[in-house]
Structure 1
Amino acid sequence: MNTTSAAVAGAVTFLWLGMVLAISFLEAPLKFRAPGVTIQIGLGIGRMVFRALNLVETALAVIVVAAVATATPSTAVVTLTAITLAVLAGQLAVVRPRLNRRFDTVLAGEDPARHRSRAHLYYVALELVKVLSLLTLGCAVLAR
């Protein structure tokens, strides 16, 4: 990859990684421990935060793809970019709609303990894969 494309792809990849780590693995679990935050309030906040995160992630993904596409990337960079995009697409197209339906039922007053959903676990598993792919992609892009 040329220097400019590598710098842009690396910077954006690590920015994206930092956002995912900060929101998914720090903010999300901590908000439920704050005094006075009920499950309904926490879910309402979470829905807004993750909607914003996913919009920003989509924009960052477009920038990474553009930077990679304008260079001569290695097979590893192309593969890692594809994995990262596939994970994000899976979260947005498959898991988020399920989570939104679940949030709607809980926000409408259903006891969350009454009916457990695995959608949250799938989202977290995909977040872990995304973190690993972003970390590896960032390193691969900057290694040239």
Structure 2
Amino acid sequence: MTSGSAATASALTFVWLGMVLAISFLEAPLKFRAPGVTIPIGLGIGRLVFRALNTVEAVLAAALLAAVLAGGAPASVTGPAVGVAVLLAAQVGVVRRRLGQRSDRVLAGEELPRSRGHLAYVACEVVKVALLVAVGVAAAAA
């Protein structure tokens, strides 16, 4: 892997990791504890924030894959990089879509039991964090 590609891949990975940690594990749970934030308001904010995060993540994933594939990265970098991109696609295409459908119902006034879908999203985020750490460390060492 060329040094430029490795540096780019590492930088992209750690920027992405920072965004996921800050938004998914800090902002998301805290917003519902703020005074005056109701479930509908929190859901509305969450939809906007996660739509923006996922858009930036898609750009970062594409740039990361370009850097990794163009730079001739070893399997220790390529495997987790492809894995995190596939995970993101599944998370957005399946898990977040289902959460969006559910939040549409809640925002329309329907009373629903507590969602387990958020647990799937959190599980994806935990795996994503692990993959991003693996990519970032492997790219920095390459």
Q: TM-score, normalised by structure 1?
A: 0.96
Query: Which of 124, 127, 131 in structure 1 is aligned with 2:125?
Result: 127
For structure 2, list consecutive stretches of 5 or more residues without a partner in the other structure.
none
Structure 2 matches for 1:89-128, cutoff 5 A?
89-111=89-111, 114-128=112-126
AA aligned opposite 2:126: L
Number of equivalences: 142
For residue 21 of structure 1, what is the aligned residue in structure 2?
A: 21
| SS of 2:115 mapped into structure 1 | coil
Q: How far is 1:76 from its partner?
A: 1.2
Distance in 1 separating the partners of 2:40 and 2:94: 23
- Alpha-carbon RMSD across the aligned residues, in angstroms, is 0.9
Q: How far is 1:50 from its partner?
A: 0.1
Structure 2 matches for 1:62-81, cutoff 5 A?
62-81=62-81
Distance in 2 separating the partners of 1:4 and 1:37: 45
For residue 56 of structure 2, what is the aligned residue in structure 1?
A: 56
Larger mean Cα displacement after TM superposition, 116-125 or 39-48: 116-125
AA aligned opposite 2:119: L
Note the alpha carbon deviations across 1:68-105, whole angstroms, 9 max, x for none: 01112111111101110111011111111100011001
| SS of 1:36 mapped into structure 2 | coil
Distance in 2 separating the partners of 1:70 and 1:9: 11
AA aligned opposite 2:125: E
Distance in 1 separating the partners of 2:92 and 2:77: 22
Q: How far is 1:60 from its partner?
A: 0.3
Q: Which runs of 4+ in 1 moved over 4 A?
A: none
Q: How far is 1:116 from its partner?
A: 3.4
For structure 1, list consecutive stretches of 5 or more residues without a partner in the other structure.
none
Distance in 2 separating the partners of 1:62 and 1:97: 21
Distance in 1 separating the partners of 2:141 and 2:22: 25
Distance in 2 separating the partners of 1:121 and 1:53: 18
Q: TM-score, normalised by structure 2?
A: 0.97
Whether the aligned pair in 1 keeps the contact of 2:77 and 2:139 (CA below 8 Å) is yes
AA aligned opposite 2:47: R
AA aligned opposite 1:17: L
> 2:26 matched to 1:31?
no
